[in-house]
Amino acid sequence: MSNEVFFLKDKWLSECLGAYCYALNNQGLAFDDLPKSKAVFITAKVRDSDFELSRKLLEIGFRDINRQVTYRKELNAVDYCPEAEIRLPSEYKILIQNSFPQFSKFSFLFEFDRFTMDKSLPPCWSAMIKGEWMNGSDSNKRFVVVYADEEVAGFILFSEGTAYIIELLCVLKEYRGKGLARSMLSLLERLAREKLVSNIVVGTQKENPNSTYVYQSSGFVLADEQRVLHYSRGIELHD
């Protein structure tokens, strides 16, 4: 089986976590060739229809973590109403920003993140990864931020390109149920249309009903679903 399943090193994640991190790929190292005396972490994303691959991974010690669902919204002129306003109470405002220094107050909210759901991993990993991702030097990353009386109430981290990719969307619990997520998505859609971007894509967890509801009710449609599996060895569970 070592000749059938291969894993490619994730250099960015390896540097971020201080471990040898890999992802399932059609090239790279066979499982038996991975470092044996080092801390190793592997991610595999497999469609439910690929029973044989899932079986192989589970047999060598992978853990079933969650289901990742991908939603897509195609932006066409037919459904666009340019005069539509983003309506929020006067105490709220939404801005497009190139940086976002207040991530720490949101880091505890990612309970459905795959690194948080995997109890075999250090609890600090999820915040470390997202903090590094948000503070990275990628010039294509931008933020939609909603403020409530000058305090940050929520944000979207997205990447610009031929499609807009939503990396993170979060609203503080005390501000939920007020339409802030949809308002931020509406502003992002307006920006995408102005830049002639035809698609917005986002990945989230099937286990997160609030997230899936927000996207579905905002016109996003299911594009893909994958099973997320993890493998790790030699990783200590301290913060």
Q: Is residue 131 part of a domain?
A: yes
Q: Are residues 124 and 58 in the same domain?
A: no
* Residues forming beta bridges with residue 67, ordered by sequence position: 227
Phi and psi of 59, rounded to 5°? -65, -30
| pLDDT above 70 as % of the chain | 88
Q: How far is CA 138 from CA 132, 160, 161, 178, in A?
A: 11, 10, 12, 31
Residue 149 has a pLDDT of: 83
| The pair of three-digit structure tokens given for residue 8, joined into one six-digit string | 């490619």
**CA count, 13 A, side-chain hemisphere, 174:** 7
Q: Are residues 27 and 93 in the same domain?
A: no
Q: Are residues 134 and 210 in the same domain?
A: yes
**CA count, 13 A, side-chain hemisphere, 209:** 0
Q: Give the residue among 20, 43, 28, 64 at the shortest CA–CA distance from 234.
A: 20
Query: Does 124 or 233 have the greater pLDDT score?
Result: 233
pLDDT tens sequence across 194-226: 999 999 999 999 999 999 999 999 999 999 999
| The pair of three-digit structure tokens given for residue 27, joined into one six-digit string | 């090239």
Q: Which domain holds residue 212?
A: 70-226
Q: Is residue 238 part of a domain?
A: no
pLDDT tens sequence across 35-85: 998 999 999 999 988 999 999 999 999 999 999 999 999 997 555 555 455
- What kind and span of H or E run contains 128? helix 125-134
Cα separation, 239 vs 25, in Å, equals: 30
Look up residue 19 and give its amino acid: A
Q: Is residue 239 part of a domain?
A: no
Burial (0-12, 13-18, 19+ Cβ within 10 Å), 239: exposed
Q: Give the residue among 232, 174, 239, 197 at the shortest CA–CA distance from 73.
A: 197
Q: Is residue 117 part of a domain?
A: yes
Q: Is residue 177 part of a domain?
A: yes
Q: Are residues 39 and 137 in the same domain?
A: no
Q: Are residues 181 and 127 in the same domain?
A: yes
Q: Are residues 78 and 53 in the same domain?
A: no
pLDDT tens sequence across 179-198: 899 999 999 999 999 999 99
| DSSP single-letter state for residue 123 | T
Q: Write the CB contacts of 59 (distance below 8 Å, at least 6 apart in sequence).
A: 1
**How many folded domains does the chain comprise?**
2
